Structure 1
Amino acid sequence: MSDEQAAPVPSRYSEARQEFEVDVVVIGGGQAGLATAFYLRRAGLVPGRELVIVDAADRPGGSWPRMWHGLRLFSPAGFSSLPGWMMPPWDDATRGFPPRDHVVEYLTRYEEKYDLHVLRPHRVESVRRADEDPGGRLLVTADGLALSARAVVSATGTWDRPFWPAYPGMRTFAGRQLHASDYRQPEEFAGQRVVVVGGGNSAAQILAEVSTVAQATWVTTRPPRFLPDDVDGRVLFTTARARIEALEQGREHAGVAGLGDIVMVASVKHARDRGVLRANPMFTRLTAGGIAWADGTTLACDAVIWCTGFRPALGHLRALGLRTRDGHIPVGGPSGTRSVGEPRLHLVGYGDWTGPASATLSGVGPSARATAAELTSR
């Protein structure tokens, strides 16, 4: 089906309660959901009829519109694209590393280009089995929406489940605490004393921004690992691809994690030049007015920004009873994304456990392609 021949949305979509049967439901309209839908569409499923994408957000772009304003990719647009259509280039003094809004615009145009008919905003509340028939249908329910599907692809990512570690004194700290998912721009911390917690890219980039307007202190659970200045997303892309090939051949490969944790984007380099990238050991508790270490050292602060990562957003799958103690759902099959306990369910884009580098723009393609191939072969 060509781009010009995209099918119209059936009239039942405009009913007060949308109830219909489809072949595949993709839950999540971000990068993983769009990439999977692209391959399903290319395999012959008609978006809006046989294939339905349901998204909780009120606008396109997945989690990207909710990320902080100054976020930039680690690599040029050509190394940050979804299958089928290259991200338009971004050229400026940052060596062409696109900002957040450029990614949002790209994802918006991507779903328009392939006429994917994303239904939003509909937050999926549950996925459950219609009956005891292992070859039967799965029921997907959301506010104002009920679907019956032969198969479901969960592509909800992790942004909706920020991880907060537990430290003594968190409830008594009188200042502001926020997770990186709630951080937007440095100006709101102007003139304050801010502690940034975390040893990854989010912490380094947020520290670099906040330190331009505030007195910023960085704390990490272990010394941060910086990549060489000449390593950016292009090298990470190549390394991730090499890991995928190695794993397919049964060989071990450390992947991107073997290179380091923090990419030296322009803002982080500037922070280094200003002497900001000095990490302190992790504190042991919070006090009413700040933080304290085990040796009795204290530091007063006005805010703590927790850059402590995310967990898979899988609450909508609870009724299927598939999660293990580590919070993941075991997957396998030819695609590596099919649920072991429920073969009608696939999980795409949650990280290495559902496919190497699958939580990235450039890395989700192989998992999406393999998922679509396995679904359509059945």
Structure 2
Amino acid sequence: MTGGTGGVTDGDGDRVDDNAALRLERRDYAAGVVSAVLAERDATAFGHVGTERDPGIRYGCPTPTTGLTAIAYDSTESEWLVRSAGDDTSGHPAQRLASVLADRNLKGTILTPPRVPHDAALYLEGAGFDLASTDALERARATKTDGERAAIEDAQRAASAGVRRAASILADATVVDGQLAVNSEDETESGPLTPARLRIAIDEAIVGAGAFPAGNTAINPDSSRGSDTDAPLRPGEPIVIAVAPRGPAGYYGGLVRTLVVDSDGGRERRVHVAVTQSFRSARSMLTAGTESVTAVEADLEAEVRSFGFAEGDAIETEVSGVGLEPHERPIDGGDDIAPGTVVRLDVAGQVETGTRIRIADVLAVNGEGERPDWLAAPSQSLEPTALLE
């Protein structure tokens, strides 16, 4: 629903900031991308229909909307049109939008995303338009404007605050009967350190930094140890902390760190060195020019394996865009990671069965020959104290 201060509440009930400058900035950028596609395909307009939760709708709307919304870009007038169920006007938003386009004497083809609702498509066709699919809006969203990049960095700073809070708790933890425990002058706060307890502290720090955890905080998400939230964490075992908070402007961050209390080195250190080195390699690769998602994922894995890991050693890499969704374009193997994109690099190497070293950071890609920027990235060290420096 629309908030009293101009904000809008998303599907999780969290308030998303009504940032007019950011909305206009991305709307204008989208108009440029869509206009070029319309001219190339000799189409009249671009249209899309969905709720305010749909990232494509939010991306193209100049103002917050409520409920089912239909948007269109009229290339003849260089204008975005919006009709929403929240306008207190009778009729389906797509039907009303189709009428507006027809009243402008527009004819021919309207380009829409492949997933446009069936009933909305019928209203557009009923007004005399032909429909054809396009991924123009998704391609526009893959390149981030300056405002979007700043919004992602805000979310990433909140992610860092959450991870640093976890590092602080782990750095101060004591070992009691082979398990990690929290000591506090307040006896109600003392006791075994469990994944659930650590997750709550992380989420509190994220909220304190002005963002929403969005249900994406997890401790040891890829291990059975993480699902048993009542089992205390142990010294000497890698603890994977994954967060992907949503900032006040609706943009996500994405951060993963692996921390170890009282590490005895060995294979976990070797895996850690390999994983951290892969990030440096990928950054150098993207400094040289545009690469595909597949190529960067392959480079990350090859760099880890160059430290002597065999084909049988489990190594996982994932590269995807981040923005109005935690994972968005560029995400498919053939998608380009070009200047202007913001991507999340996620690398994991197996230490032993059920134990991994995993790290993820967000990287903003600049022009060819310019080094990409890590956004609000704390230390990648296994030592909790290193993240507090």
- Shorter-chain TM-score tier: under 0.3
Q: Which structure carries more helix by proportion?
A: 2
